[in-house]
Each structure stands twice: as structure tokens, then as C-alpha cells.
Structure 1
Amino acid sequence: MTGYVLFDVQNVLDEEAFKNYESQVVATTAQFDGVYRVVSGDARALEGSWDPRFVVLIEFPSREKAEEWYGSEAYAPLKKIRQSSADCIGVIFSGVGG
């Protein structure tokens, strides 16, 4: 079953640091077979109170692979950069099917 990581970048606090993150993060997701499915600033909520700003959706072969990537040593220094340079909402979830 596929796994997904979704980030909504609400506000970039440090443009230079965030660009550094962006330039390196794709290589780490590729190590865990992650594929970027959505990278978009044109999302809008249809219902509820969510106000999406810039949505990134990464697909992994499984929820376990997604969890491995997020907790990996490869992603750890980049995670710190992202967390200090931007306000983000992040979620992880499983896809449907077998």
C-alpha cells in the first residue's frame, strides 16, 4: 500500500535557507523511492478551515518507506533546515489498495 507525505508550506521565514532545503531534499526522497506528485501554490480548500498556501505531496511505495524517509539520517539535517526556515503543516498517510 502506498504511503504519502504532504506538506503545506504556510510561510517561508528564511528564503535562502529554504532554497538550500529545496535544492537537496529531492535526493533524499529518491533514496527511499519517493516521487513528487504535487508541488503547487494553487491549492484551495473546498470545505473546512484549512487555508493551503503551497502544497507538496510525495508518494512512496509504502507507508513504511515514507516513515523511514521522514525519520532517516539522510533527511534529519534537512528537516531541521525546513523547520527553522518555514512554517509548515505536515502529515503522513496511507493510500488505498493493496
Structure 2
Amino acid sequence: MPTLLIGNVGTIGDPAAMAEYRRKVGRTLEMYGGWFEIRGGEFTVLEGDWQPTHLSVMAFPSAEHARRWYSSPEYREILSLRDGTHMDLVLVEGG
């Protein structure tokens, strides 16, 4: 079942480290069958109060693939590059 991870980057701790994270994260996604559908870009809030600052949508063939990526050693290896950066990340399973 298709699964999306919706992420929003808020306050960035270390811009140089975050730039390195952004360079490396795509490769880790690919290793687990994932890819970016949307990475940044313009958006319009049609309803509600949510004001994302940097929105990303990642796709995986299944929730299992997404969870394996999230807990993978490859992803965990680069996670410290986000230290001090606020990130919201939501897994949404398709139906």
C-alpha cells in the first residue's frame, strides 16, 4: 500500500550541517525504495492555520519500507546532522 512521509523543517540549528543532511538523505531513501515527491516549493494554505516553512513529501511502496528507512543504520548515520533543527515528520498510509 503506498505510503507517504510528510515532513516540515522549521528552525534550523546548523545551516552547514543541515545542507549536508539534505545532500545525503535522498540516497538513504532510495536504498529503502523511497523517493521525494515534493521537496520545498511554493504552497498555499487553503484551510486552517498550519504554516509550514519547508515542506517535503516522500513516497514509499509501503509503510514497512518507510519504517525500515526511518530506523535504518544509513539514515541514523546522518540524523545527527539535524541536531538543533526542528523537524515534523508524519507517516500516512494510503488506502
**Same-fold call, TM > 0.5?**
yes
User: 2:8 aligns to what SS in structure 1?
Assistant: strand
Q: Work out whether residues 13 and 86 of structure 1, in 8 Å CA contact, stay in contact via their aligned partners in 2.
A: yes
Q: Which runs of 5+ in 1 are unaligned?
A: none
Q: 37-46 or 22-31: which moved more?
A: 37-46
- Determine the structure 2 residue equivalent to 1:22: 22
- Determine the structure 2 residue equivalent to 1:5: 5
Once residues 80 and 93 of structure 2 are traced to their aligned partners in structure 1, the CA distance between those partners, rounded to angstroms, is 24
Alpha-carbon distance, 1:91 to partner? 0.7
Once residues 40 and 23 of structure 1 are traced to their aligned partners in structure 2, the CA distance between those partners, rounded to angstroms, is 14
Count of aligned positions: 95
Alpha-carbon distance, 1:73 to partner? 1.0
User: 2:66 aligns to what SS in structure 1?
Assistant: helix
- Alignment map for 1:65-80 (pairs within 5 Å): 65-80=65-80
Q: Deviations over 1:58-80 (max 9, x none)?
A: 10010110011011111012223
Alignment root-mean-square deviation, CA: 1.3
Once residues 4 and 15 of structure 2 are traced to their aligned partners in structure 1, the CA distance between those partners, rounded to angstroms, is 26
Identity between Structure 1 and Structure 2 (%): 27
Once residues 16 and 22 of structure 1 are traced to their aligned partners in structure 2, the CA distance between those partners, rounded to angstroms, is 10
The structure with the greater share of residues assigned to strand is 1
- Determine the structure 2 residue equivalent to 1:90: 89
**TM-score w.r.t. structure 1 length?**
0.87
**TM-score w.r.t. structure 2 length?**
0.90
Q: Work out whether residues 44 and 52 of structure 1, in 8 Å CA contact, stay in contact via their aligned partners in 2.
A: no
